[in-house]
Amino acid sequence: MSKPLLEVEDLWVRFPSKRRVVEAVRGISFSVGRERVGIVGESGSGKSMTGRAILRLIREPGEVEAKKIHFDGQDLQGLSEKQMRDVRGHKISLVMQDPKFSLNPVMKVGDQIAEAYRVHTNASKAEAKKRSIEMLNAVQIRNPERVYDSYPHEVSGGMGQRIMIAMMLIPEPDLLIADEPTSALDVTVQMRVLQIMDKLVKERGMGLIFISHDLNLVASFCDRVIIMYGGRIVETCRADELQNAKHPYTRGLLNALPDIHKPKDQLSVLERDPKWIEDPSVDAYS
């Protein structure tokens, strides 16, 4: 693969509080090209913080430290806040978990999408509206003109998440970070939303970081998988080689999953080894 889009080396995210420092991410290194990379881990494993740290969205008192966060050869840590705004949305975007909370409740859906477009282009209002409606079409929303004028509480969860995807893809970023994009949705619409997202990402030749707790889902959608535990990367492999994973945590996760082809009488319960926390992080370069 050619030069990767995103290179992260020795990333730390810390939250100091009065009594102690919580280390959410502890020195991880990885890179992402124009491919689909899944980051899997349980809650508290630092997977979401990794996504937000790349976009420099960790708020005070949280601290981010890394030897290197490069995007497309550009050093993100060295950018001013103003330059960083040009990266957000325009180069790297982020789809969050629950559209109920991630859409502004008092702004029309269409205005929120158009705003994302206009902030990175000098488009007129009319042009932005036209593009937004095209984008709503692209995420397979029927009757996009009507949806354009509706408010977030008037749309369903699945539609809300498609609106979110439209909003995040309209400035045509090179990399999309999807942070549990379907966890808050009904099971019935999860697949559809994922397929729409996948199709758009492929068409545009973008990179995708898919953050999830669902190992199966990630394995079926991604080219490569990164497994995180306790703020570190414990294992990384190609998605189709996941069955050969060696780390006991990954093995444990795999064994805890039911398999329709190989039914088991009893699913094993994941046993954790405190040693995993201390093990060094595995580099996950492409």
Distance CA 41, CA 209 (A): 13
Nearer to other proteins, 59 or 275 (CB): 59
Q: Count the residues of the shown chain that bind other proteins, applying the rule CB under 8 A.
A: 33
Residue from 74, 75, 101, 199 in contact with other proteins (CB under 8 A): 101
Distance CA 274, CA 272 (A): 6
Residue from 29, 31, 93, 281 in contact with other proteins (CB under 8 A): 93
Give yes or no for residue 167 binding other proteins (CB under 8 A): yes
Residue from 68, 88, 130, 213 in contact with other proteins (CB under 8 A): 88
DSSP run (H or E) holding 69: strand 68-71
Using N-to-C axis directions, what is the helix angle for 157-169 and 109-118, rounded to 10°? 20
Interface with other proteins by CB under 8 A: which range of 31-39, 67-75, 84-92, 245-253?
84-92
Nearer to other proteins, 72 or 279 (CB): 72
Distance CA 107, CA 266 (A): 49
Residue from 32, 164, 208, 284 in contact with other proteins (CB under 8 A): 164
Q: What are phi and psi of 71, to 5 degrees?
A: -125, 120
Q: For residue 67, what are the contacts with CB-CB under 8 A and spacing of at least 6? A: 9, 10
DSSP run (H or E) holding 15: strand 6-16
Give yes or no for residue 103 binding other proteins (CB under 8 A): yes
Nearer to other proteins, 133 or 167 (CB): 167
Give yes or no for residue 49 binding other proteins (CB under 8 A): no
In this structure, the chain runs to a length of 286
Q: In what order do the strands lie in the sheet with 224-229?
A: 92-95, 175-179, 207-212, 36-40, 224-229, 232-238
Q: Among positive and negative, which fits the CA dihedral 271, 273, 274, 278?
A: negative
Residues 125 and 209: beta-carbon distance below 8 Å: no
Nearer to other proteins, 5 or 92 (CB): 92
Nearer to other proteins, 163 or 219 (CB): 163
Interface with other proteins by CB under 8 A: which range of 78-86, 123-131, 133-141, 188-196?
78-86
Residues 201 and 176: beta-carbon distance below 8 Å: yes
Interface with other proteins by CB under 8 A: which range of 82-90, 136-144, 209-217, 226-234?
82-90
Nearer to other proteins, 57 or 254 (CB): 57
Instruction: State the number of CA atoms in the 13 A half-sphere of 231 facing the CB.
Output: 15
Shortest distance in whole angstroms from residue 173 CB to other proteins? 10
Give yes or no for residue 163 binding other proteins (CB under 8 A): no
Shortest distance in whole angstroms from residue 86 CB to other proteins? 6
Give yes or no for residue 238 binding other proteins (CB under 8 A): no
Binding residues for other proteins, rule: CB under 8 A, are 17, 52, 55, 57, 81, 85-90, 93-94, 96-98, 101-107, 115-116, 119-120, 151, 153, 164, 167-168, 171
